Amino acid sequence: MDVAFIGLGQMGSGMADNLVATGHKVTVWNRDWTKAEPFAERGAIVAADLAVAARTGTVMTMLADDAALEAVSFGDGGLLAAGPGLLHVSCSTVSVDLTARLAAAHAAAGQRFVSAQVLGRPDVAAAGKLSVIAAGAEDDLDIVQPLFDSIGATTHRVGERPMMAAAAKLAFNAGIPAIMQMMTEQFRIVAAHGIAADQMAALLLEVNYGNRLIGSYGPMIAEKRFEPAGFPMRLGRKDVGLALAAAADAELPLTELIAERMDVIIAAGGVERDWSAIGQSK
């Protein structure tokens, strides 16, 4: 299909390349023109300005942050000035507030707006294997599904309001530093006893640590199903205490916070509840 791609940074350049490679007629635009220019040789049309890009009718944006997306959408000659009928597919990771404002502004301009958040780093974008989390009117999502198929391996539709995809993406990203911090602390615990961090990293991968935990605890937490306990808070708290002791003098701020949370839950009567009730104080 005819599509314009705005924002040729680390993520956007790979996404635009995959749109071209899968046969779409792609027009590109980037604030720094030197990043757009090479796309002429890679099979895309380079637009002189946003207004030209918007004439394609469907525009995907992949910009740094709220300020960048606001500039491209609300700024002079921006997408909202392009006239009725435009379909804006917003892929940048931005606030729920801006996503809501854009949904309203595009509707007021007789335009359509969907949010298509992506999971995966620049190498995954270059390989066309992103996971797309999309939200918006079902008809609009159907129209742009071929674009999602070009940039991603999977698409997950999470709802009819674009804000829902923004919220899902932010929830994903909120968890990533927590997991990175957790791994750092795990490496510190084993390092105190002579096990190298990369050996522990390989072990986590080998036992499929992340997926196993999400598979067994995800549904329990989502359904608040903490009884009967497969592993009670009482025993979980014992192990967290033992891990803190095993770390010798290493810094384990996340593990300490978790121990405190468990104590709150135990004090509130949750001692025999499954330890997946970590986030529930009542």
Active site residue 224: no
4 versus 8: smaller Cβ distance to ligand NAP: 8
Q: Which residues would be at the binding site for ligand NAP (CB under 6 A)?
A: 7-12, 30-32, 35, 62-65, 67-68, 71-72, 92-93, 118, 121-122
Distance (Å) of CA 127 to CA 40, 68, 185, 236, 240 = 20, 25, 32, 41, 40
Minimum Å distance from CB 137 to ligand NAP? Answer: 23
Minimum Å distance from CB 62 to ligand NAP? Answer: 5
14 versus 270: smaller Cβ distance to ligand NAP: 14
Return the structure tokens found at 248: 């010798």
176 versus 205: smaller Cβ distance to ligand NAP: 176
Ranked by CB distance to ligand NAP, the top (closest) residue is 9
Minimum Å distance from CB 140 to ligand NAP? Answer: 21
Classified as helix, coil or strand, 164 is: helix
16 versus 233: smaller Cβ distance to ligand NAP: 16
Minimum Å distance from CB 124 to ligand NAP? Answer: 8
Distinct helix (H) and strand (E) counts, the chain: 12, 8
Task: Give the C-alpha separation, 61 to 225, whole Å.
Answer: 40
Distance of CA 69 to the CA centre of its chain: 17
The total of other beta-carbon atoms located within 10 Å of residue 78's CB is: 16
* Cβ atoms of 134 and 115 closer than 8 Å: yes
71 versus 246: smaller Cβ distance to ligand NAP: 71
Minimum Å distance from CB 50 to ligand NAP? Answer: 9
33 versus 231: smaller Cβ distance to ligand NAP: 33
* Tokens 């509130």 -> residue: 268
Helices (H), 28-137: 33-36, 50-54, 66-74, 96-108, 122-126
Q: Would you give the DSSP letter of residue 47? A: P
Q: Which of 14, 51, 56 is nearest to 35 (CA)?
A: 14
Minimum Å distance from CB 48 to ligand NAP? Answer: 15
Q: Would you give the DSSP letter of residue 128? A: T
* Tokens 């995966």 -> residue: 120
25, 169, 224, 238: which one is catalytic? 169
5 Cβ partners below 8 Å, 6+ apart? 12, 15, 16, 19, 26, 27, 28, 29, 44, 59, 60, 62
Catalytic (active-site) positions: 169
